Amino acid sequence: MSNGKPGRRQAQTEYASELRSRGLTWTEAAEAIRVRYRVNMRVAFRIAHGWSQSDAAREWNKRWPEDEKTNKTFSYWEMWPGPTGFAPSMESLGRLAELYQCSASALICDQFDFRHLDQEQQHREADQTVLGPGAGVSLDTAALELPTPPEVAELQPSGFVAPGLVEGLTAMTETYRRMDYLSGARSVQGEVTTHLRRILDLQDRGRTTAINRDLLRAAADAAQLAAWLAIDVQQYPTADKYCRLALSLANRANDRGMHAYVLGVLSYISLHARQGQDALTLLTTAKEKTGTAMPPAVRSWIAEAAGEAHAILGNRLAGTKALHEAETAFDRVTEENTPPWLAFYNSPIHLARLKGRCLMRLNEPQAAMNALNEALARFPDSYVRERGGTLIDAANALIQGRNLENACRVAIQAEALARATSSARNLLRLRELLVMLMPWSRSDCVQELATKLLLTR
């Protein structure tokens, strides 16, 4: 099976190398490649290793010379279950797994999952209350201009969603979220809108109340992720529409935590526009409507956002109070009480990152640097865009402390990450930072930063 022109093969190899350099396992890298290039997992694992079909055959023959294979053999395996392909034997599938350092099931997991045929699982689902016909989403989803999804094949003959599908859709959203962290919004934005439309088309097709509620939550999660992606590329009207869709879905699912979080996402549109009062209004509404039902991680995250809003307004005392509230709420955060869609916040790294940003906004450079350095020292390699944003916060704090040379050095590192993730938002923040450095425009470090930013497209 050909991978196309040499340029495409090179791009695939470079992408695979980048994924591995960020600490992803072979299976995680293959999943990212499968989504990005729309190939099956057997092709994705080979690409992850940077091999052509001839390379893979050569590696196979080194290990098992008594069972020699050719590139044509790999082509047949990769085209299967298509009409021109052949299925590998169980022994060959096991050897492929050893060759690619994965499980045998991972090589076919994208095509063969028949858990929905388990009658015991069906019986358990049937024992629950069946949901009657429900009202549609209150927002006109056609206004989002989402692409038409592929034909939905996950419905049972009865027309109901197959058991286990919601978990798969949720896992797919999480995969897109991790890809966004690694390579930026533009790398997954189109796939996420298609994914969202696909979930929306499954509404009210669950066999039970619980399944339909989970479908609503899955759609709300995908919608808020789409909003974040739009924010990062500065498509703020689109982000607003996705947020309002997510709010409608969260309300229908009676998910107060998601509703509060999405109001927080909306507040970031105002924060990016430096409209502190508008952001505070949204964040206050989130707290009032959710009350004690708000998970600690959501409460802490919203308090951090409120701290930044107060800082924009110059309310130092209120901003400091909001930071204290965020830290107090974070003390109650556990893996068990944190929603899956906010799992990234279940770590002191992100508390430190957001605290550092708030302190920088409050013009407390030394305290900000202490928090930001803590976050930078502990960030996983896969959080590329977040590291870039944190470096920009650090550069701003260094400017406040008149440490100009180090500020430029850190900003140059952030510029490389912003370019790698195509983050329009971070590039804009860097250009705003450059304006702050104009009084020292003759210095070598400022000129170097200016050259890099002017060359960035």
- Yes or no: say if 367 and 404 are a contact pair by the CB < 8 Å rule: no
pLDDT in tens, 300-324: 899 989 998 998 898 989 988 998 8
pLDDT in tens, 72-100: 999 989 988 777 788 888 788 889 999 99
**Domain-by-domain residue ranges, the chain?**
6-107, 163-250, 255-346, 377-457
Query: What mean pLDDT is predicted for residues 284-292?
Result: 80
Nearest to 193 by CA among 217, 215, 223: 223
Structure tokens at 103: 């499980």
Is the bond preceding residue 81 a cis peptide, omega within 30 degrees?
A: yes
Nearest to 389 by CA among 403, 401, 376, 398: 376
What does DSSP assign to residue 253? T
Query: What mean pLDDT is predicted for residues 340-368?
Result: 83
Structure tokens at 42: 């057997």
Structure tokens at 207: 């066999």
Report the alpha-carbon distance of residue 366 to residue 179 in Å, rounded.
Answer: 33
Burial class (CB in 10 A: 0-12, 13-18, 19+), 386: buried
Predicted local confidence at residue 138, as pLDDT: 35
Band of pLDDT at residue 127, cut at 50, 70 and 90: very low
Report the alpha-carbon distance of residue 451 to residue 21 in Å, rounded.
Answer: 28
Give yes or no for residue 2 having a pLDDT over 60: no
Burial class (CB in 10 A: 0-12, 13-18, 19+), 103: exposed
Ramachandran area for residue 349 (φ above 0: left; ψ -120 to 50: alpha; else beta): alpha
Report the alpha-carbon distance of residue 123 to residue 120 in Å, rounded.
Answer: 5
Band of pLDDT at residue 42, cut at 50, 70 and 90: very high
Give yes or no for residue 134 having a pLDDT over 90: no
Ramachandran area for residue 50 (φ above 0: left; ψ -120 to 50: alpha; else beta): left
What does DSSP assign to residue 143? G
Query: What mean pLDDT is predicted for residues 230-243?
Result: 91
Query: What mean pLDDT is predicted for residues 239-265?
Result: 93
Report the alpha-carbon distance of residue 215 to residue 219 in Å, rounded.
Answer: 6
Query: What mean pLDDT is predicted for residues 207-216?
Result: 89
Structure tokens at 441: 């425009």
Band of pLDDT at residue 380, cut at 50, 70 and 90: confident
